A and B are shown apart, each in its own frame.
Chain A
Amino acid sequence: MTVTDLGDSLGYECMQDHYEDGNVSTGYTSDLLSDVMANAPDESVLITIQAHKNTVAVATLAGARAVIICNSRPVPEDMVDAAKSEGIAIFRTDKNQFTVSTEVYEKLKESS
């Protein structure tokens, strides 16, 4: 499933749409960036409330395709800029990490 397909099917707000539309095969839910760094799988979508620039750096290094910011956390402009230059999508929703994880899981399962 591509980033665009996933984004469209979830219907969350897209905060950054200059991304490489690669394949998303799984998700990873964590607010602990060291944990994301160590354990997030390649080609994943990162589900988190950590809405700042460093999240983009970690997502990039971990090979994540997109970041979903939960609980309507404000997304700072420098985070959007960083994501743009790394080609990583940012989505945002008012739902929490648990709900988003189940929704992402369902969409990925449906498409496989």
Chain B
Amino acid sequence: MHQSFPINADESPPIILDLIYKLKVKDVMTTELLTVGPESSLRDVQHLMRAEQITGVPVVEGERLLGIVSVDDIIRSLDEGYIGETVTAHMSRNLIVLEDDMPLSFAISYIDKYQFGRFPVLNREKKLVGIVTSRDIIVALLVELDHEVVKLEEQVPHEAGHPTAEESTRDFNISSYDFENAGKASTELRKLLIEQGLDRKLIRRAAVAAYELEMNIVVHSHGGRLAFSLSDDTVEITATDRGPGIEDVEQALTEGYSTATEWVRSLGFGAGMGLPNARRVCDTFNIESSKRGTSVRAVIHLPKGDTET
């Protein structure tokens, strides 16, 4: 059952429209092509498809495209017993092709219109230069959308606090189970506080709170954010996540209570010290949790006029 492509030139939002007109077919196509010559047999193509896990192979002579053999052609040849014959006798010859300079919108509308799995791409000289599948288009769009989202997020004003001249605010996206980047946000906070010349003990307290809250998002949540803001008299750290929530907050605040998995423990985490540690080092510590997510606000007061000597 063919499903139409969920993005199109009629109804999609402006950012998507920009993308599908801005991107050219040559930006998304696969250029490393596996092809066969006209003398090859359908059996050769079948072997190539199996070895390379592809579903369509162009038949070329020099750089000129003669036709395409698809998985359907191979299945039919097996059914009807001519798998040993040459490709030229049975390949699809009436090809719908794309040109490499066409906008991506063309490729999308072709996919919807013709419902083929792949389209050969020719350049102006009619030479075969690539092949485009739905997957190529989806991957390219995801990469571009990712860039766009990053740009948009950078434009969103930070919500926390009322800015003063002295205040700094930072906001980090924390992904579930991303041990690769775990600790980055807290390390940034620490650097910022060192730059501000704050007392080392105070920096340590803020680092402990930030790190434990950051690790909790990594280990226990579906993902969330860690934000901190620095004003003249406080360091404020807020951690919010998208669930699944803490079943018993009182228990979670008890030292030694842990719901971490075995492999998280094997990394040295999940000893049931996170939240208790974080609460211990803060002057104000509020936590709210429901199935929709957990939100923690941790505040450390700065002594008046405190800078490291």
Contact = CB atoms under 8 A, between A and B. Distances in A.
B238 to A, nearest CB: 18
A56 to B, nearest CB: 8
Given A50-B268, A61-B190, A42 B211 contact: no
- Chain A, interface size category, equals 20 to 34
B186 interface: yes
B182 interface: yes
Contacts of A48: 268
Interface in A28-69: 31-38, 42, 48, 50, 52-55, 57-58, 60-63
Contact of B274 (A34, A52, A63, A86): A34
A54 B204 contact: no
Band of interface residues on B? 20 to 34
Nearest to A36: B268
Nearest to A40: B204
B190 A38 contact: no
Specify which of B183, B190, B204, B269 lies most central, judged by the most chain A CB atoms within 10 Å of its CB. Answer: B183
B267 interface: yes
Contacts of B215: 34
A54 B267 CA distance: 8
Interface string B179-191: 1101110110010
A48 to B, nearest CB: 8
Interface of A: 31-38, 42, 48, 50, 52-55, 57-58, 60-63, 78, 86
By Cβ-Cβ distance, the 6 closest A-B pairs, closest first, are: A57-B183, A34-B273, A33-B268, A61-B207, A50-B268, A38-B277
